[in-house]
Structure 1
């Protein structure tokens, strides 16, 4: 069974906030993604998703290298994931952002294999290690009142871990964390994510001491992605565990972080890793090295969120609450299913492949190529 062709459908779906979602990286009012459909010569197909918050977006990546990758993998054995990666890397080896496109293609192939073999994708990743994963809800920037409103909404839905985005106003950020802790006490876990906003390690260390006093469980990517010396300094001196995100895309980055000793925890993305196989490899490296591992979200629509969910079930270890709820950051979705979430946990999807089906009416509504 061989790959015949790849079909791409660019999508633009509004975020679920009524206004722009803000982090230290900027503001976003919609998600730019692409649905991937990999067709097999005999008529079988699988679906995946290209998700990226970076410059090109999902649709831009498809325009950029979609046809080249489609041409390169045509004729490959559907079941040979290793050959798929080698071929894609040879065709487009000069663009790290293209990992997100490769991930969407690999996702669709895994979905197809799962459907053909009547098994969920987590079985193809080594099997199910858990039935559910604790989830973390990201809280966008805004006033203290706006952040408390976001948390109140999801606290009422059973969420008990929240990640506050920080990095543009030191005093306002600390005030927000303090007010959240005051309002909810020890009933919630608090993470913070600076999205590379800071440049001075000693400044961040001072901040981390105040966050430690407020019971924050991790400080994510406070410095630039290649500031290894600063990150190592923080890991050695901060009482709040240092989590990296933008510093770790692929397994080579993970190995460099382990050898360099500049991360307590890695927050890994299926899209940025270049796919499920490589994200699972990073999870294995973390497990072997005794480094914490958790999973982040671009965020993805339902197809990509389903893939992330399968990684969550298959990973050897989960060290902190994960963002396996990417599709809930949007006002609408392109799948028919409601992905199971209850009492602060994301549950496994046990149907064949990714376990989701496409709502083609919604695809027609949000596609941007017509």
Structure 2
């Protein structure tokens, strides 16, 4: 089986409401979809959701890299040869992990379909039966965040992830308001998205949050300050998760060596796709560090890919892949049994693509052939 054609689509996914994190507010989610066709007639889909603040990629740069650099070189390659494909992509260009993730995911989807098996069967088989879904709260006033939190708890959610990362004292009020509103039995995870900048601000916040019974605190400091994470972890009674500070093997190696985090957040868009994500999970397992698979707010395609990795690995104990629940229109049909996710046994990623919606949401596209 050989890759004969790769079509690239730039899209804007509409959101029910703006998605607000410490460094940006999104009125829609930009995404790149790739459609990979092989000489056997099988078709696979992949996705790249870039983030200038995390991977240094934009929608436009990702599209250009796929169109001119990566996709042309994959024509004629077998999508089964993942080690070879990643070595080839890495030899062509440094970094650009979301662009590489799109092609990686499409390869897994098309290979799974050709063999008639789900992607998780290609990377170790199924370990988990289901995962609870965490509702993500965008940054807003304490009143609005706590009200939304209570509404989601009434819908059946048992865990919440709060986006914070503005003024430390204002963030403390947000967290305290949500905890007071939902009670002690609901899990609360706090994601700062680098917004507290340094260890001094973070330790000040942690002292005031000790009574809030948080599951964990995620990426409070700037991404490249691993030493600050070491200091925070050594002085915190709240588990510390690293996200933006862990993109690939070099960072994971440093985190393990310095014992810089209790948990790591693996994102396919940060590391380059399914294949690199499984390597990171294996490294974490050897070091005894629990993992979460998160997302850049991806559609059914990217979210399904993340779930297949999650369901195959024992060391992955939580997921945050709720992009499709935030979109008012999606191109795929990934199904959530809120507040749980349970994958099917359909081949590949296990989702169907609505070509009509894909065409409707596409801003521009390009076809690469041999």
Q: CA deviation at 1:32?
A: 0.4
Give the SS at the match of 1:152.
Answer: helix
Structure 2 gaps of 5+ residues are 366-370
Q: Does 1:140 align with 2:138?
A: yes
Structure-to-structure mapping, 1:121-200, within 5 angstroms: 121-200=119-198
Q: CA deviation at 1:251?
A: 2.3
Deviations 1:291-324 (A, max 9, x none): 12111110101111111111110122233x3212
Kept in 2: contact 1:309–1:349 (CA 8 A): no
User: Which residue of the partner structure matches residue 34 of structure 1?
Assistant: 32
Q: Find the aligned partners of 2:97 and 2:345 in 1 and give their Cα distance.
A: 27
Q: CA deviation at 1:206?
A: 2.1
> Which range moved further: 207-216 or 294-303?
207-216
Q: Does 1:331 align with 2:328?
A: yes
What is the TM-score with the length of structure 1 in the denominator?
0.94
Q: Does 1:236 align with 2:228?
A: no
User: Which residue of the partner structure matches residue 16 of structure 2?
Assistant: 16
Give the SS at the match of 2:320.
Answer: coil
Structure 1 gaps of 5+ residues are none
Task: Kindly report the root-mean-square deviation, in angstroms, between the aligned alpha carbons of the 2 structures.
Answer: 1.6
User: Which residue of the partner structure matches residue 223 of structure 1?
Assistant: 221
Kept in 2: contact 1:73–1:84 (CA 8 A): yes
Q: Find the aligned partners of 1:73 and 1:85 in 2 and give their Cα distance.
A: 10
Q: Find the aligned partners of 1:328 and 1:210 in 2 and give their Cα distance.
A: 33
Deviations 1:298-357 (A, max 9, x none): 0101111111111110122233x321222112221001x241323x32212320000011
User: Which residue of the partner structure matches residue 92 of structure 2?
Assistant: 91
What is the TM-score with the length of structure 2 in the denominator?
0.94
Kept in 2: contact 1:33–1:59 (CA 8 A): no
Deviations 1:54-103 (A, max 9, x none): 3643454012343310111111122111111011111112xx3x110111
Q: Find the aligned partners of 1:148 and 1:332 in 2 and give their Cα distance.
A: 26
Structure-to-structure mapping, 1:1-370, within 5 angstroms: 1-17=1-17, 20-54=18-52, 56-93=57-94, 96=95, 98-319=96-317, 321-335=318-332, 337-342=333-338, 344-369=339-364
Give the SS at the match of 2:170.
Answer: helix
> Which range moved further: 325-334 or 297-306?
325-334
Q: Find the aligned partners of 2:138 and 2:250 in 1 and give their Cα distance.
A: 30
Kept in 1: contact 2:241–2:262 (CA 8 A): yes
